[in-house]
Amino acid sequence: MNTVQDDAVMARASDTQTVAAADGRTLTIAECGDPDGFPVFWMHGTPGSRFAGQGLASAYADVGARVVTYDRPGYGGSDRLRGRRVVDCLADVSSIADSLGLERFAVTGVSFGGPHSLAVAARLSGRVARAECVAGVAPFDMPGFDWFAGMDAVNIDEIGWAQEGEDVLAREIERMAAAWLERVANDPSDPGEVEFSEADRAVLANPQQQEAMGRMLNEAFRQGVWGYVDDTLSLIQPWGFDVTEIRVPTRIHYGLTDVLVPPQHGEWLAHNVPRAEVVIDEQGGHFADPKLVTERFGWLVQPI
């Protein structure tokens, strides 16, 4: 791309808008990539914010993707929706799409954003062209499924706090968030208590990734920890939809060295999302390799 195009793309990456949800809440959104490209909703992980993934705006533009991100309720500039379920994201995505005049779009989600992208694929199939779930979790507490096998102790602790209730979870998340933001400010190369795989440590060692993560996290916690709290509580509750409902072309990505969302989650989704295309990174962990973004988003914007 020429310099004029690059400048336009990066300016678009910093755009922030507000949209009214159907129930009157404020949703805060951002866009990046090709302003005239095919729309792709990018559902952030936990914790997260609309700034997640925006450092790759030029890569999105290269494949003709207009990427739309938004703060889930309780994060960044979006009002909290206490007691929300995963499926409740449908109304917010619909409100944002309507506000932007987007009749048809693709959707992708990473980590706990993955189930949200699958919800959109399942229940807004008339508007969704393609869907993607990257390092996404399987539904919680399924008979015969070892949800915690191979999972780092930090995530296991979070689920335990959630099972004790909102008050306990909020107190512990506040403590974790404070320590996390301190590391980001003082030593962004410090991975904290998580025993990340070599692949994830390599991604986290990248200065650009560190800068992007710092911006994303500071915005995520701008109004407190309630987005994180509500995400975690909704994770262990029924999601409000079944992945077997999905009829649109869907990709399931997962890495075999992921300790935050171990590979059996990806395997379960691969077997239960109808006709899913499965992409396994044998060396990959939880954080997607930025080098793979062009191929991923190129697939998402392909015409059906």
- The pLDDT tens digits for 58-114 are 999 999 999 999 999 999 999 999 999 999 999 999 999 999 999 999 999 999 999
DSSP string, 53-116: TGGGHHHHHHTTEEEEEEPPTTSTTSPP-TT--GGGHHHHHHHHHHHHT-SSEEEEEETTHHHH
pLDDT value, residue 10: 38
Cβ burial, residue 273 (10 Å; 0-12/13-18/19+): buried
CB 240 within 8 A of CB 83: no
Q: How confident is the model at residue 286 (pLDDT cuts 50, 70, 90)?
A: very high
pLDDT in tens, 194-206: 899 999 999 888 8
CB 265 within 8 A of CB 137: yes
Percent of the chain with pLDDT over 90: 83
Q: How confident is the model at residue 159 (pLDDT cuts 50, 70, 90)?
A: very high
Query: For residue 261, how many C-alpha atoms fall within 13 Å in the half-sphere facing its CB?
Result: 29
Range scoring the smallest mean pLDDT among 107-121, 152-166, 179-193? 179-193
Name, in order, each residue with C-beta under 8 angstroms of 210's C-beta and a sequence gap of 6 or more: 184, 188, 189, 204
Homologous superfamily assigned to 3-300: Alpha/Beta hydrolase fold, catalytic domain (3.40.50.1820)
pLDDT value, residue 5: 41
CB 88 within 8 A of CB 72: no
Angstrom distance (rounded) from CA 177 to CA 161: 15
Q: Which residues pair with 70 in a beta bridge?
A: 29
Domains of the chain: which residue ranges? 3-300
pLDDT value, residue 171: 98
pLDDT value, residue 23: 97
Backbone angles phi, psi at 32, to 5 degrees: -155, 175
3-class secondary structure, 165 = coil
Range scoring the smallest mean pLDDT among 3-12, 76-85, 134-143, 272-281? 3-12
CB 79 within 8 A of CB 149: no
Give the predicted TM-score (pTM) of the model: 0.93
